[in-house]
Structure 1
Amino acid sequence: MATEVKVPTLGESITEATLGAWLKQPGDPVAADEPIASLETDKVALDVPSPVAGVMGEQRVKEGDNVSVGAVIATIEAGGSAAATPPVADANPPGPGETPTLKGDETAPVAADAGGEESGESNLTLSPAVRRAVLENHVDPSKIKGTGKDGRVTKDDVLTAAKAQKAEAPAPSVAAPAPPSAPSSAPAAPPRSAAAGERREERVRMTRLRQTVARRLKEAQNTAAMLTTFNDVDMTAVMEARARYKDLFEKKHGIRLGFMAFFVKAAALAARDVPSVNASIDGDEIVYHDYLDVSVAVSAPQGLVVPVIRDAQALSFAEIETTIADFGNRAKAGTLTIEEMQGGTFTISNGGVFGSLLSTPIINPPQSAVLGMHRIEERPVVKGGQIVARPMMYLALSYDHRLIDGREAVTFLVRMKEALEDPTRLLIDL
């Protein structure tokens, strides 16, 4: 008896997804709760688990198809067979040097390397981004030790294996000259080689996540009256505080003290003085929040995702850093949930980790402001009448001018600058 596999509930207001990749093929053994397909939604990629143990049956949709919540995408056939049905060999045995053929559309199983370690089944369950990386870098995923959740292979694992494979590649050997052949009346064709200036193109369908990001960013530009204001911050005090307490902090809390906690706390302090930065427009009403839910951009295999730190104004430095580290790890493993990326009231984007000096970030509706952090670099500044070198960072606040006046935007950045240049303000609430 076959069990239907349906598209699970995807989250609030999300009714449709795109089938990114099949992780199991018909005939493959499937354990209960084992992922059989990967879905791409507007916000994240998530796996569809098998409701029962058995054998993968019919695939009712193709990769790239749109599917609705509750739609049947596959069936799981009953049976405890641990292996797929063996291929049927051709009636005519192959001759010496010939490759055996299979009947119909059957595929020969891949033999395990003799003496090699058996690869875990979870390592072969690949997300769309990992599958693409495997194909582009020509590596064998079964030989890669996964560092993701439950030992799954991540994109970083594939890239690391590709680098190691290139480093171990032997130098090309010189082929022996071919023996002379019988003369021919037709002139020999010159050897064909790739042109040095060959131009190539590749068309790749945009993922649902990228389509949604593109649409929402354009909607933000079309709807909001966006403006960006800038300031710079002397990071000397923050860097000295980190250097002085980082070892004690990590020993006590089990997490490194980063820059983001300082900025989140400073934003919470500034938003209390300038509440419009943490507000939003709903029709002809302004919604003010007495809490600060900070969306933080983190890297994931499919691109940047923006999980939310809830009630950031009430969290300690250790709680903020622990939450951010957890988001980063689960973003790489692809295990962030949709609920964790909904409902932010303010966004902080750290382009400095990629080397950005200055930018004008785009707000994420319905939010009304986004703070852009940038790289820290020593620049000459005047202090006490003397020109000195100080570690400086540019801050950029993009905001919706329909709600936030220029005076309020500048005041918000000044409050953040004061708190970061004198972190004691964060402790005594000034």
Structure 2
Amino acid sequence: MSSVDILVPDLPESVSDATVATWHKKPGDSVQRDEILVEIETDKVVLEVPAPEFGILEILLTEEGTTVTARQVLGRLRLLDNTEKTIPEKSQTQEITLTQNNIEHLEKVRKDTLSPAIRRLIAEHDLNPKPIKGSGVGGRLTRMDIEKNIPNQHSIPSSHEQIHSVSPALGDRSEKRVPMTRLRKRLAERLLEAKNSTAMLTTFNEVNMQPVINLRKQYGEAFEKRHAIRLGFMSFYVKAVLESLQRFPEVNASIDGEEVVYHNYFDISIAVSTPRGLVTPVIKNIDALSMADIEKKIKELAIKGRDGKLKVEEITGGNFTITNGGVFGSLMSTPIINPPQSAILGMHSINDRPMAVDGKIIILPMMYLALSYDHRLIDGKESVSFLCTVKEMLEDPNRLLLDV
């Protein structure tokens, strides 16, 4: 019988190593070609390693949590001959019927077979794994099983929390420690890098969102019927930012050593919150995209980010970042620059506020804008003018169509 090595895939140029996150198979399991065997976690994305051929997983040479490098051998797959390939194989996603007789056995097996990555995910979100139905081999819990249950279980107190809330006098002051994910560690490093290596300032303004809201009400239904995508606020933000970047090239530039790099293209990073942390997928060449194209791309990248399916090339690059803390209710913030970019725009929640218009008090849906920028490259005049342009485009969105 011949065998083949299971290798760590080639890593991105800026990534030197990775961590074995989750094995989806164990020695002795049969696997189909292209079935996912193991997940490798880098500080940017999670890479899935598929089976190169039909076979039996013969041996694991790296445990979960092990640091590995590109092309390192993770394990070995024994190839099947044509006769063996016809044997029905147990699907990884085959449902396990939990009868009264096997629940107790399954719970015992789970305690022994939970991978370090799964245990860490459970601990991070303080979940109770018992009621979660495992879709892995032998009922094992997979990352997808846990992530599907995070919203549900957060709304239901665990038995420990219920006891604590009923009997606070017990004095339960327990603590838990979980290792930081590679993504979280890298995010922390980049935030410190931005704070320590840039002369970061933030300027604020406010925008009346009534014109955009009216436009969405007037054309939202027709837009969705024609393009099969909902008309959201982000496409307006992106278009307004594009107009501003074209007028103020310094904001679209970056510093490289003692040189300023001016980009003649417009790639915008959109901050997306995922179960693993904050990621910034990039929408490239936005000047060539319609509003429908932008909405579709944002939705696609958001789904990939949530499911951990973003590719390295989809989160690298980007000349400017938009972050929308308003979706979580943030009224105002000072966003941190995403190096090597020179600026980031923070959008916030839209709230009705009394405003003075032509000497009268009117209730309007207002939103604060915040532009954080690197003062080494961008002067106050450019930063304020940039933000005022975004404000003007949003308060009169017809200007985006007329290019005025």
Bin of the TM-score, shorter chain as denominator length: 0.7 to 0.9
Aligned length: 369
- Aligned position for 1:174: none
CA deviation after TM superposition for structure 1 residue 75, in Å = 1.1
Could you list the per-position Cα deviations for residues 341-396 of structure 1 after superposition, in whole angstroms to 9, with x for gaps in the alignment?
01100000000001111111111111000000100001111001011111010010
CA distance in 2, matches of 1:412, 1:268: 11
CA distance in 2, matches of 1:377, 1:258: 17
- Aligned position for 2:254: 280
Could you list the per-position Cα deviations for residues 171-213 of structure 1 after superposition, in whole angstroms to 9, with x for gaps in the alignment?
xxxxxxxxxxxxxxxxxxxxxx996321111111111111111
CA contact (8 A) 1:33 1:51 kept: yes
- Aligned position for 1:245: 219
1:325 counterpart = 2:299: yes
Please report the TM-score for the alignment, with normalisation by the length of structure 2: 0.84
Point out where structure 1 has 5 or more consecutive residues left out of the alignment: 85-109, 116-124, 146-150, 170-192
Give the alignment partner of residue 149 of structure 2, picking from 151, 154, 158. 158
- Aligned position for 1:360: 334
CA deviation after TM superposition for structure 1 residue 10, in Å = 2.5
Q: 1:201 is matched by which residue type in structure 2?
A: E
Q: 1:290 to 1:317 in 2, by over 3 A?
A: same
Cα RMSD (Å) of the superposition? 3.0
Q: 1:113 is matched by which residue type in structure 2?
A: L
CA distance in 1, matches of 2:215, 2:118: 39
CA contact (8 A) 1:16 1:69 kept: yes
- Aligned position for 1:102: none
- Aligned position for 2:65: 64
CA deviation after TM superposition for structure 1 residue 284, in Å = 1.1
- Aligned position for 1:203: 177
- Aligned position for 2:128: 137
- Aligned position for 1:112: 97
1:392 counterpart = 2:383: no
Looking at secondary structure, tell me which structure has more helix per residue.
2
CA deviation after TM superposition for structure 1 residue 153, in Å = 3.3
Could you list the per-position Cα deviations for residues 64-101 of structure 1 after superposition, in whole angstroms to 9, with x for gaps in the alignment?
111100100111123446679xxxxxxxxxxxxxxxxx
- Aligned position for 2:105: none
Could you list the per-position Cα deviations for residues 388-426 of structure 1 after superposition, in whole angstroms to 9, with x for gaps in the alignment?
111010010000000000110000000000000000110
CA contact (8 A) 1:141 1:158 kept: yes
- Aligned position for 2:239: 265
Bigger Cα Rg: 1
- Aligned position for 2:43: 42
CA contact (8 A) 1:397 1:409 kept: yes
CA contact (8 A) 1:24 1:37 kept: yes
CA contact (8 A) 1:141 1:153 kept: no
Point out where structure 2 has 5 or more consecutive residues left out of the alignment: 101-113, 137-141, 160-166
CA distance in 2, matches of 1:130, 1:242: 44
Q: 1:412 to 1:320 in 2, by over 3 A?
A: same
- Could you tell which deviates more after superposition, 299-308 or 218-227? 299-308
CA distance in 1, matches of 2:53, 2:148: 30
Please report the TM-score for the alignment, with normalisation by the length of structure 1: 0.79
CA contact (8 A) 2:133 2:145 kept: no
Task: Name the % identity.
Answer: 48
